């Protein structure tokens, strides 16, 4: 049995993760964290989703959670995630990171922490999206540069980062398929008189509005035809399901930084 803790357990994603742990064989709740002053501190984490008490409390001290959990799942902010990676390294606790908006510096900090523990990090924890990453890499490698690549993503109006971590992950997959560096070929914004599209570039289009959980399309637009790969999320439980699966998978793995590609064997 793997005892799993949830960072930010009182939020929408946090409660979804709590419910998923309760429903997953081989997993048990170790507790959760919330900000100091929250009314949830001291409550049993299972009661946040209307379940019977699990003997696992909500705390405002992350070090307490990391000291008692076998694995911790973090879908918070880059700054908090970096701090939690350091805690995971000190306590040799598995850390599953679903946080988006991580820059190169934050990813480097995760890689450093992973020398002392097991960290699974992915821009998207959905099984379907990670299959889309693999398909995107394969199609990009198969089709020539005469096929223009455009990535379109749509999320709810409250999302704060753009393009989404998943869209950037799809861009990286496409760039890897073509054997190029994404930063060298990415068009992340277009406005005004931009001129003709650059051959071999990968474009991003961002939509925000409503309550859309997450829609992503990779378009390969070639002469006389267009190939589109699309994933549409209708429930956040897909991210929770993948994250809990990653925590259980990492239990017997050596220290290192892993991705959902490793978890799924893609």
Write the pLDDT tens digit of every residue in 65-118: 999 999 999 999 999 999 999 999 999 999 999 998 889 999 999 999 999 999
76 and 175 co-located in one domain: no
The DSSP output letter for 252 is G
Is 13 annotated among the ligand-binding residues?
yes
The sign of the dihedral angle between the CA atoms of 141, 143, 128, 100 is positive
What is the average per-residue pLDDT within 172-182? 97
Is 219 annotated among the ligand-binding residues?
no
CB 129 within 8 A of CB 166: yes
9 and 105 co-located in one domain: yes
Q: Can 253 be counted among the known catalytic residues? A: no
pLDDT score, position 100: 85
149 and 205 co-located in one domain: yes
The CATH number linked to 168 is 3.30.360.10
117 and 132 co-located in one domain: no
161 pLDDT above the threshold of 90 = no
pLDDT score, position 101: 83
83 and 45 co-located in one domain: yes
139 and 220 co-located in one domain: yes
Q: Which of 154, 155, 216, 231 is catalytic?
A: 155
| Helix, strand or coil, per DSSP, at residue 56 | coil
The CATH number linked to 10 is 3.40.50.720
| Helix, strand or coil, per DSSP, at residue 206 | strand
36 and 49 co-located in one domain: yes
CB 96 within 8 A of CB 120: yes
Is 9 annotated among the ligand-binding residues?
yes
pLDDT score, position 194: 87
pLDDT score, position 189: 86
Is 255 annotated among the ligand-binding residues?
no
Q: Which residue has the higher pLDDT, 139 or 166?
A: 139
Is 76 annotated among the ligand-binding residues?
no
Write the pLDDT tens digit of every residue in 120-158: 999 889 999 999 999 999 999 999 899 999 999 999 999
What is the residue range of 154's domain? 127-233
39 and 81 co-located in one domain: yes
11 and 115 co-located in one domain: yes
What is the average per-residue pLDDT within 187-210? 93
134 and 117 co-located in one domain: no
Model confidence at 266, in pLDDT bands (50, 70, 90)? Answer: confident
CB 81 within 8 A of CB 106: yes
pLDDT score, position 143: 96
Q: Can 155 be counted among the known catalytic residues? A: yes
Q: What is the tally of structural domains in the chain?
A: 2
Q: Considering the chain, what is the average pLDDT of its residues?
A: 95
Q: Which of 116, 154, 159, 253 is catalytic?
A: 159
Model confidence at 9, in pLDDT bands (50, 70, 90)? Answer: very high
112 and 137 co-located in one domain: no
- List % helix, strand, coil for the chain (3-state, nearest 5): 40, 25, 35
């Amino acid at each position: 049995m793997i005892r799993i803790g949830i960072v930010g357990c009182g939020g929408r994603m946090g409660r979804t993760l709590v419910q998923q742990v309760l429903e997953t064989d081989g997993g048990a709740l170790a507790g959760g964290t919330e900000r100091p002053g929250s009314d949830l501190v001291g409550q049993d984490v299972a009661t946040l989703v209307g379940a019977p008490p699990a003997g696992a409390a909500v705390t405002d001290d992350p070090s307490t959670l990391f000291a008692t959990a076998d694995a911790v799942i973090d879908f918070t902010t880059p700054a908090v995630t970096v701090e939690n990676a350091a805690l995971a390294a000190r306590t040799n606790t598995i850390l599953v990171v679903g946080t988006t908006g991580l820059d190169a510096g934050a990813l480097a900090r995760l890689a450093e922490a992973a020398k002392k523990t097991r960290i699974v990090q992915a821009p998207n924890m959905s099984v379907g999206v990670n299959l889309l990453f693999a398909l995107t890499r394969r199609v990009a490698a198969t089709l020539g540069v005469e096929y223009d690549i455009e990535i379109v993503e749509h999320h709810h109006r409250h999302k704060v980062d753009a393009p989404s971590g998943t869209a950037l992950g799809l861009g990286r997959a496409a760039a890897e398929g073509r054997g190029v560096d994404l930063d060298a070929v990415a068009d992340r914004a277009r406005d005004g008189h931009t001129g003709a599209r650059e051959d071999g570039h990968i474009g991003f289009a961002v939509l925000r509005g409503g309550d859309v959980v997450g829609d992503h399309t990779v378009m390969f637009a070639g002469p006389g035809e267009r190939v589109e790969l699309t994933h549409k999320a209708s429930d956040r439980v897909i991210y929770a399901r993948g994250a809990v699966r990653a925590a259980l998978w990492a239990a017997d793995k050596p220290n290192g930084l892993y991705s959902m590609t490793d978890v799924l064997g893609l």
